[in-house]
Chain A
Amino acid sequence: MNITAEEQQLLSGLANEDKESIERIYRDHYNMVHSLVINNNGSADDAADIFQELMIVLFEKAKSGNFELHCQLKTFIYAVSRRLWLKKLSQSQRFLVSADEMGEVVSVDEDIEVHEQRQAEFNIMENALSKIGEPCKSLLEAYYLQKKQMQAIAADFGYTNADNAKTQKYKCLVRLKKLFFAQYKNVD
């Protein structure tokens, strides 16, 4: 059984950060993930963490536009959560549940791999941003994260005009790029 039209719509809502879609997915699937974690040596907090990470996996996948599932959304969510939880268990060296016990449903190897790569990239960028200092950090965040216009940024940061702000932003970007690639190439 494949993904339904309704689920497809939920996922495109997710890609657009639609909060109602996020809530819907929580309401439909949270309990399942919660019991999966709780029944396998996890706490309520662990369950909430795993669900968050699962949502990020879904978001990344929906955003990339090639959300082709050959199973129900529920099955996919179960499989991904299970893998995320097994990984966390093995990392924290808690008593390890054998993989078979939790039952493999559908292979999500590729999705997990993509997610881990993305997560590593996210951390590198976050780390690089935290290192460049002010005003670079705020300037770049205003432009690239909050997507503000250059004029508005110039006014907010007290630059005489948008061109000055742009030059400053460029200098900051060069530094960020350097920090990012220094780490990124190391990871590769």
Chain B
Amino acid sequence: MEDSLLADAIERFVRGEMTPQEKLYFEDLRKNNPELDQSVVEHMFFLNQLDKFAATKSFKHSLHEVENKLADDAFVFRAGPTGKAKVVQLWHKYKRTVAVAASIAGLVSLFIASLISAVNTNKTTNIKPLVDKINIQEHKTRQIENKLNRLEADKAEVITPRFEEKFRGTGFLIDVNNNYIITNAHVAREGRNQLIIENSKGEQFAASAVYVDQERDIAILKVNDDKFKKLPPIPFNITKTYPDLGEQVFMLGFPKQEIVYGEGYVSAKNGYQMDTIYCQLNTEANEGSSGSPVVNRHGDLVGILTSTEQNAQGVVYAIKAANIFRAVEAAKKIDANSAIKITSTPGLKGLTRQNQIKKMEDYVFMIKGN
């Protein structure tokens, strides 16, 4: 193999093992063939890297031996086991954190899994919906507190209902004329008693789920609040085309009490276990992000952020936007929703990211309820 001969020659050249004649010939070859010269330079660089790596690795080894010796002399103190490379030690520290995080995630997933299986018994999955459930225990105590308050309030004959949120997700407006909002079915389902939407200014409005598609995990909410002001036409374009592999996307959602911007790219055309409703994104998402709009750089809405894989970092699933149309068509068949119409415009095209976000954030809502 010629390449292996060349690699061999380069190694002997670097180590100065060539005869003067060979060396002359080799240097001549490089001078007359720039392509070859480039691969020689690259290979030499790589060998040099390998050499440095070997030297540092070996030095680290000696370093640990000396440190161990000094630890035996009680000159160097270490609380943990000695004699491990710093990198290894960091890994060990990290590993413990991972173990703790994993067990917490495990508990959360068990909890969520039990919730899901209660409603939906046909699917056991390894994926985690991104709805944020506010500490249930705390909620229970608050409920008790609330009841006590109410008892007192009854006495005083002043009833002040206090809204107790139990979960938090995200949703976005698709119809400005009739105020319909898209979110995940698993978000809407949490709101058994009450659903509230909150805009980025912190204003809250009452809403209700008018259509829930369990299978596609899409829900359509309607804002039933006279205080809700009609917004200008929706600036993003909801697209039926599937997102391309590698397409850069951004998201706006509510993993915390304020709107949060995130970025990523489309990393696979299908979702968990080749589920074609979904596509896979590489990004970071947290509880509360469920229902976030996923938008490409042209301002096309390509998906709804939905879940994350438990055991893999950065693997997030989003429902392809084409499913929104299907859900809307289905919702239309219900008499009360016959007016529903997706009103989207390509109003984000060509804008800088900052301006896209500014235009878009008014259409993204925190969804909470109990």
Contact = CB atoms under 8 A, between A and B. Distances in A.
Interface of A: 17, 19, 22-23, 26-27, 30, 43-45, 48-49, 51-53, 55-56, 59-60, 63, 118, 121-123, 125-126, 144-145, 147, 166-167, 170-171, 173-174, 177, 180-181
11 contacts: A17-B59, A19-B65, A22-B62, A23-B70, A43-B79, A53-B86, A144-B51, A145-B53, A167-B1, A170-B1, A177-B46
Contact of A52 (B51, B63, B79): B63
A22 B63 CA distance: 7
Given A23-B66, A30-B76, A174-B3, 17 more contacts: A19-B62, A19-B66, A22-B66, A23-B70, A26-B66, A26-B70, A26-B76, A27-B75, A48-B82, A52-B86, A56-B63, A59-B59, A122-B53, A166-B4, A170-B3, A174-B7, A177-B43
A48 B77 contact: yes
A17 B62 contact: yes
A56 B78 contact: no
A140 to B, nearest CB: 8
Nearest to A60: B56
B1 A118 contact: no
Chain A, interface SS category: helix
A147 B69 CA distance: 27
Q: For the complex, would chain B's binding face be called helix, strand, loop or mixed by DSSP majority? A: helix
Nearest to B51: A144
B53 A121 contact: yes
A89 B115 CA distance: 41
B354 interface: no
A51 B67 CA distance: 10
Q: In the complex, which range does the number of interface residues on chain B fall in?
A: 35 or more
A89 B52 CA distance: 28
A166 B60 CA distance: 28
B49 A125 contact: yes
Nearest to A129: B53
A27 B69 CA distance: 12
Contacts of B4: 166-167, 170-171
A63 B75 CA distance: 27
A55 B50 contact: no
Contacts of B78: 44-45, 48
Contact of B76 (A48, A121, A144, A181): A48
Contacts of B77: 44, 48
Nearest to A171: B4
B55 interface: yes
Nearest to B46: A177
Contacts of B80: 45
Contacts of A30: 70, 75-76
Nearest to A17: B62
Interface string B32-63: 00000000000100100111111111111011
Nearest to B43: A177
Contact of A49 (B46, B54, B89): B89
Contact of B75 (A26, A49, A123, A125): A26
Nearest to B61: A17
Given A121-B52, A170-B8, A145 B76 contact: no
A166 B8 CA distance: 9
Interface in B1-47: 1, 3-4, 7-8, 43, 46
Contacts of B60: 52, 56
Contacts of B52: 118, 121-122
Given A30-B75, A180-B46, A126 B53 contact: yes
Nearest to B65: A19
B360 to A, nearest CB: 30
Contacts of A173: 7
A74 B4 CA distance: 48
B69 A45 contact: no
Given A26-B70, A44-B78, A167-B1, A121 B49 contact: yes
